[in-house]
């Protein structure tokens, strides 16, 4: 934890030198040159507070999930423009108050009040306006938001706070250096001089660039020559072995500790609310899953078989559904997934990860086998070892039967492509004419791709956990290794996605009919089924407008 905290702080320092931040250094430095000497500290502190508040607001408020990220940039840009206008015309308030007919006494009082407060107010606004802009600049920030914060709020807040302090500290150093230089050149400190007015004009230009998205073009150009500080951060982040999704089985352990109770469950499917205490005397298998996770899909037939086989002997299975994507929080979507998977045992919707945290869980899927006294006697993370798990169930039930031989049709393979997220939070291996970035934009598909690489063509709206076709005809091309390809998608029922597999015109998955998928809900769709695993299979998808893609998963 200490090492990760230091890396988070260091990532904040590096973020200041990232191409997406460079255009805003004049705002931070220029906004600290005027007024009281405390101004640079106020700017830095308000930026830190803005980053924290903006992050937690988006994570905590489901009402804000559907807001286009571009609106935050527009709001930030407008604030910066207004600050620039106020700097360019320092007597503007006086003119406005006279024009609207305040009497002289009221005017003097208000004018003094504004003069007294404007150094603090504008300093706070300067820092606060850039919080949403800076929030998408660091892979460390994205890693904390996407993986650590949902699973461990306390650790997530610590890492996020250290990252924000690193950003604020680095910007404060720039501000103090600029302030020191201005103090030595007195003509630069004149609020009505050409230097301060030039800074004001720069505020207005940058604010307009942020509001219109022109700043992203600068970022694209800067990436071609600026040092790749974000790549340095990526190398410092925890490896895939620490990711919350288990692609391979982790070592099986047995703890013997008392099982935590189910917590924070608002909705139960197939059952009234349950507790560990009222299940004493039964053998309980708690399975953490989420319905779009391919690893969970491959495990599901075994769980159904065990429930049918051992329920009368005293086995209770409770599926704790902890959502990986926003649409998986919708009870109707989960109910549909439960019905389609043939799940008959109780399912608890752990939308706030309360039970997940109580078990200190880190994986999808994860199994915790609890004895009749309420103690955890066996755990297993990820796929596989089904025979060992069933033998542990038999031992606690004191029954003997031949172990199940379930053909789930989706056996995991070796050398297959890794799970690939498509939103900005965890996207990897994207190739294109410019970096993947938040907001709506046009992409030109890359000409050549290697294994596990992907590219976009046409108009896309890119968000933190998904990409959405902004116009019909937008394309996504992926080169994968393995035999099976799946994609989590959401969008309007009846919208279509055309699927093309290079060299295999008929190698379609179960959800493809006549070369296209017709959406019938937010779920995992089976795109490709090859006769046997192979490398570098190119798949091109063409989307109707409004269809969203979240993550690819693969099988052998």
Where along the chain do its domains lie?
Answer: 1-225, 257-397, 420-555
Residues 189, 125: Cα–Cα separation, whole Å:
21
Phi-psi region of 270 (alpha: psi -120 to 50; beta: other; left: phi over 0): left
CA dihedral (277, 279, 284, 286) positive or negative: negative
* Domains 257-397 and 420-555 are alike in CATH topology: no
The residues pairing with 458 across neighbouring beta strands, listed in sequence order, are: 443
- Determine contact, residues 284/370, Cβ cutoff 8 Å: yes
Q: Which residue has the tokens 């508040």?
A: 53
Residues 143, 347: Cα–Cα separation, whole Å:
29
The pTM (predicted TM-score) of the whole model is 0.46
Locate 278 and state its tokens.
């009222």
- Rounded to the nearest 10 degrees, the angle between the axes of helix 153-184 and helix 39-60 is 150
The matching CATH number, chosen from 2.30.30.90, 3.40.1360.10, 3.40.190.10, 2.60.120.260, for 420-555 is 2.60.120.260
- As averages over each run of 10 residues, the pLDDT of the chain (556 residues) reads 65 61 59 62 79 66 46 64 66 55 44 46 67 57 54 68 78 71 53 63 70 55 44 47 40 64 92 92 93 82 92 94 83 90 93 88 88 90 83 90 63 64 84 87 90 94 90 95 90 94 89 93 89 91 94 80
The conformation of residue 89, written as its DSSP 8-state character, comes to -
Burial of 278 (0-12, 13-18, 19+ CB in 10 A): exposed
Residues 391, 446: Cα–Cα separation, whole Å:
50
User: What is the pLDDT, as a whole number, of residue 84?
Assistant: 64
Task: Report H helices in 190-239.
Answer: 194-212, 214-223, 229-236
DSSP3 helix / strand / coil % (the chain, rounded to 5):
45, 20, 35
DSSP H or E run through 498: strand 496-501
The 3 state secondary structure assigned to 407-425 is CCCCCCCCCCCCCEECCCC
Residues 323, 291: Cα–Cα separation, whole Å:
8
Burial of 47 (0-12, 13-18, 19+ CB in 10 A): buried
- Determine contact, residues 484/526, Cβ cutoff 8 Å: yes
Residues 521, 499: Cα–Cα separation, whole Å:
18
We find that the CATH architecture of domain 257-397 is 3-Layer(aba) Sandwich (3.40)
Helix, strand, or coil here: 12? Answer: helix
Residue 319 phi, psi dihedral angles, 5° rounding: -90, 115
Nearest to 230 by CA among 9, 3, 24, 19: 19
């Amino acid at each position: 934890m200490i090492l990760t905290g230091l890396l988070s702080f260091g990532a904040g320092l590096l973020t200041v030198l990232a191409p997406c931040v460079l255009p805003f250094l004049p705002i931070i430095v220029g906004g600290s040159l005027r007024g009281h000497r405390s101004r640079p500290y106020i700017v830095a502190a308000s930026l830190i507070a803005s980053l924290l508040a903006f992050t937690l607001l988006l994570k905590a408020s489901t009402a804000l999930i559907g807001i286009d990220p571009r609106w935050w940039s527009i709001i930030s840009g407008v604030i910066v423009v207004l600050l620039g206008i106020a700097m360019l015309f320092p007597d503007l308030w006086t003119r406005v108050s006279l024009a609207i007919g305040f009497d002289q006494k009221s005017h003097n009082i208000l004018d003094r009040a504004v003069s007294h407060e404007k150094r603090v107010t504008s300093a706070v606004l300067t820092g606060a306006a850039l919080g949403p802009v800076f929030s998408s600049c660091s892979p460390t920030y994205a890693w904390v938001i996407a993986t650590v914060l949902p699973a461990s709020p306390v650790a997530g807040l610590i890492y996020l706070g250290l990252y924000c302090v690193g950003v604020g500290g680095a910007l404060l150093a720039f501000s103090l250096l600029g302030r020191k230089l201005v103090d030595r050149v007195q003509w630069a400190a004149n609020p009505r001089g050409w230097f301060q007015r030039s800074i004001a004009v720069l505020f207005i230009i940058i604010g307009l660039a942020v509001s219109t998205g022109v700043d992203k073009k600068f970022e694209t150009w800067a990436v071609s020559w600026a040092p790749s500080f974000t790549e340095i951060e990526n190398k410092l982040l925890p490896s895939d072995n620490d990711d919350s999704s288990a692609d391979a089985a982790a070592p099986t352990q047995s703890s013997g500790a008392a099982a935590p109770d189910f917590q924070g469950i608002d909705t139960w499917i197939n059952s009234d609310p349950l507790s560990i205490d009222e299940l004493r005397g039964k053998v309980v298998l708690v399975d953490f899953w989420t319905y779009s996770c391919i690893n969970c899909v491959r495990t599901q037939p075994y769980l159904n078989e065990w429930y049918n086989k051992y329920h009368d002997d005293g086995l209770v299975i409770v599926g704790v559904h902890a959502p990986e994507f926003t649409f998986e929080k919708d009870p109707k979507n989960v109910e549909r997934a439960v019905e389609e998977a043939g799940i008959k045992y109780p399912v608890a919707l752990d939308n706030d990860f309360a039970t997940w945290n109580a078990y200190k869980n880190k994986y999808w899927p994860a199994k915790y086998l609890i004895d009749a006294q309420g103690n955890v006697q066996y755990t297993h993370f990820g796929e596989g070892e089904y025979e060992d798990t069933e033998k542990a169930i038999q031992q606690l039930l004191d029954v003997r039967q031949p172990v199940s031989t379930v053909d789930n049709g989706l056996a995991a393979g070796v050398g297959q492509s890794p799970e690939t997220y498509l939103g900005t939070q965890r996207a990897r291996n994207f190739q294109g004419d410019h970096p993947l970035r938040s907001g709506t934009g046009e992409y030109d598909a890359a000409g050549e791709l290697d294994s596990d690489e992907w590219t976009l063509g046409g108009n896309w709206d890119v968000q933190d956990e998904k990409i959405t076709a902004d116009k019909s005809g937008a394309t996504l091309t992926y080169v994968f290794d393995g035999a099976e390809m799946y994609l989590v998608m959401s969008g309007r029922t009846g919208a279509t996605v055309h699927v093309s597999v290079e060299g295999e015109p008929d190698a379609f998955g179960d959800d493809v009919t006549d070369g296209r998928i017709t959406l019938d809900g937010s779920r995992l769709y089976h795109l490709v089924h090859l006769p046997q695993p192979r490398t570098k299979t190119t798949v091109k998808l063409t989307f109707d407008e409004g269809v969203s893609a979240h993550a690819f998963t693969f099988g052998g």
